[in-house]
Amino acid sequence: MNVKVLTTKPQIYTAEEALKLMRGDELTATAYLESCLELVEKKEPIIKALAFIDKKNALDSAENCDFQSENGVLGGIPIVVKDVIDVLGMPTAYGADKYFTNIPNRDAVCVALLKQAGAIIVGKSTTAEFAYSKPPATVNPHNILYSPGGSSSGSAAAVSAGMFPIAIGTQTGGSMIRPASFCGVYGFKPTFNLIPRDGVKTFAESADTIGWYANSLADIRLVLKALAPTYSISDINNDITKVGFCKTPFWSIADNDMKGLVQNSSKKLDAIEIDITDIATQANDDHRLLMASEISRSLSVQYNNGYQFLSAGLLDFIKKGLSITRDQELAAHRRLADYRRKIDDIFVDIDVIITPAAPGSAIKSQRKTGSSIFNILWSASHAPCLSLPVGVSDLGLPLGLQCVGRRFNDANLLVHAERILSRLI
């Protein structure tokens, strides 16, 4: 069988490169956007990463940018956002039946901040249904028979295919980090609640986090500066990075490729093994319980008024949430609060934890998005997480190394990640 494999080497400048050229009058925002749109025209019919695109308004915005002397941190950078995030004038379809499509009358706060920083919002990227599990038609740019991961499927695939330098996604369980690993891009999930979520469709209020993808660590930093400027400045005053290596209780689920990547990285980084077996399994279970309980409330209107338009898998998950008692939910919240304090304590002695970003490389499926088993326990910790595209499986598919930092030390995590990259590549 002949399988069409697309090149995933970025064919456009990174945001940092483009900004440098634009500030030196060697590139215009319009020309940069047009190069992205040319790649969209070429690749999107195969990748199917976009739910909506507004070329005319994007080109108008780029032209306006070219006439401005000061354009902000992301001035002239084209970006797409996950289709659970509102953009003024663009439909929000949630990856669901058209019955639920909404045309918002204002931007989500994160989108407004991106625009204030000069970014050009070109369109919406695909998502699993209401950011849960039913995948969109999006394929993995490295091999179209494989999943790009989910639920931020289109965001990761659009960056991986080189169509856009940056794309915004969300994570509740593993929806940022796993797609980053599957698609071979940098994926960042900041500290919980660091980025305002107003205007983003809620999945689970206690965990939903806005994140982003890029083809360079420098671009990840740029977006952090735009969305959370006070948390984008590192306070590191030494050149030492102490690394911890955490297998987690789910190590046996990882395949040999992923185990090899993490173990080899651990050796190169002189990492200290961290054991969280006594707390991680319960945290994983508690986080899943809260996801179910909270989505049963956040989708209550859709469930009550349009249940026939929801997938069977999502209906089952909502029903599971409806069966959870108040006491069960409160107990889970109390245990997770204690769990987060214990995870914080680990960072007294180390700077960053390395751990699998996924059980292995992308799964060969168009109906599933893969397991979040190596993501949920870190989402539950509310800690910042970053997937570094530093590995390749025996099948030639990307593997991500997940780096976890201390809560509210997002900038420090990115500094330590850069040091880790320099020692691994």
Any idea which residue has 């509310």 for tokens?
Answer: 382
Measure the CA–CA gap between 311 and 176, rounded to whole angstroms.
Answer: 22
The helix (H) or strand (E) run that includes residue 123 is: strand 120-125
**Alpha carbon distances (Å) from 202 to 211, 282, 332:** 14, 24, 19
User: Residue 11 and residue 136: Cα distance in Å, rounded?
Assistant: 25
DSSP annotation of 271: P
Q: CA–CA separation, 187 vs 180, rounded Å?
A: 5
Amino acid at residue number 127: T
Reduce the DSSP state of residue 200 to 3 states and report it.
strand
175 included as an active-site residue? yes
The rounded distance, in Å, linking the Cα atoms of 254 and 317 is 25
- One DSSP character per residue, 171-221 reads ESSSTTHHHHHHHTSEEEE-STTSS--TTB--S-TTT-EEEEEESSHHHHH
Catalytic residue among 35, 125, 147, 175: 175
252 is catalytic: no
Catalytic-residue membership of 152: no
- Distance separating the N- and C-terminal Cα atoms of the chain: 34
Residue-by-residue DSSP string for 18-38: HHHHHHTTSS-HHHHHHHHHH
Annotated catalytic residue within 43, 48, 61, 82:
82
Nearest Cα residue to 61 out of 91, 90, 93, 96:
90
Q: Identify the CA nearest to 138 among candidates 163, 115, 171.
A: 163
Catalytic site residue from 133, 151, 206, 265? 151
Classify burial at 41, counting beta carbons within 10 Å of its beta carbon; exposed 0-12, middle 13-18, buried 19 or more: exposed
Q: Residue type for 322, please?
A: L
Catalytic residue set: 82, 151, 175
